[in-house]
Amino acid sequence: MKIVEITQKISIYIIVILLIVITSKLINMESEESQFYEYKNSKINLKQVKKIIPRLEYIITYKEDDNIDVFRKYTTPLNPKEIKNVESFLYLAQKSEFYNVEVISFMLFDDEKIPLYHSQRFLKSPANYSVNENMLSKLSSYGLDDMQYENLKQLKKKVYNDANVFFEDVISYAKIKRSEWSQENIPKLGLGLNAEKFLSTLSDGVEQRELTKKEILDIVKELKKSYKQYDGIE
């Protein structure tokens, strides 16, 4: 009876020892895994990385921007506060007459850039024409006299969505000579200073893509996932 009890105790002891060894190995394996970051089918040894910096890079430009900020690229830290800022800019852009939106998140492992997310490019081109102060100023500097100026001012409150109709009204009211220059430049001036700069920066044939509320929510969701990835490493 004593021999059976001793054998049982030894068996239990061996099982406990085995469980301790297995648990210890699993913990070590998990710890070893956490020291690496998988990227493009390879692993980055985090022990060899001195600093990890999460970043946001974006172009969110729209009609209401200051002219100097049209197509300006911003680079900021990736954190909950900046994600909230980007979200508010996205909603402002969505309501604007024209916009360009592109958002990127990444991490810097020392000097190595690790991409996390790159949104689609959302684009809406300007298409409303009106007599504006920039247009009046430019045409005056090109020789518009006082009578022409006053006649043209009568169109200031009218908005056109057809460049040809806008052009015809402008030369009719201001008695401007129809020429190759006027046909090319009057519609551009009618778009406004920001829109003029916006169009001059665009490449020909760029596809327009609408920015919807769903798209905005998806972008914000992906940015939060990006930050969570960084937060998981830290």
Mean pLDDT value across residues 82-88: 97
Give the CA-trace dihedral at 217, 118, 199, 92, to 10 degrees.
20
Determine the distance from the C-alpha atom of residue 15 to the mean position of all C-alpha atoms in its chain, rounded to a whole number. 57
What pLDDT digit, counting tens, does each position of 37-82 carry? Answer: 666 666 777 677 788 899 999 999 999 999 999 999 999 999 999 9
pLDDT at 160: 96
Query: What is the CB-side half-sphere exposure of residue 166 using CA atoms within 13 A?
Result: 25
Q: What is the pLDDT of residue 147?
A: 93
Question: Whole-angstrom Cα distance, residue 73 to residue 60?
Answer: 8
Q: Is the pLDDT of residue 6 over 60?
A: no
CB 82 within 8 A of CB 220: no
Span 165-193, pLDDT tens digits: 999 999 999 999 899 999 999 999 999 99
Rounded CA separation 27/169 (Å): 78
* Contact in structure between 194 and 70 (CB atoms under 8 Å): yes
- Predicted confidence band of residue 224 (pLDDT cuts 50, 70, 90): very high
pLDDT at position 100 is: 97
pLDDT for the residue 40: 64
* Residues in CB range of 116: below 8 A, 6 or more apart: 105, 106, 107, 225, 226, 229, 230
Q: H or E element: which one contains 19?
A: helix 2-33
Phi-psi region of 158 (alpha: psi -120 to 50; beta: other; left: phi over 0): beta
**Is pLDDT above 80 for 24?**
no
Please give the pLDDT value at position 208. 93
Q: Is the pLDDT of residue 207 over 80?
A: yes
- Whether 149 shows a pLDDT value over 90: the answer reads yes
Please check the confidence at residue 12 and state whether its pLDDT lies above 80.
no
What's the pTM value of the predicted model, to 2 decimals? 0.76
Whether 128 shows a pLDDT value over 80: the answer reads yes
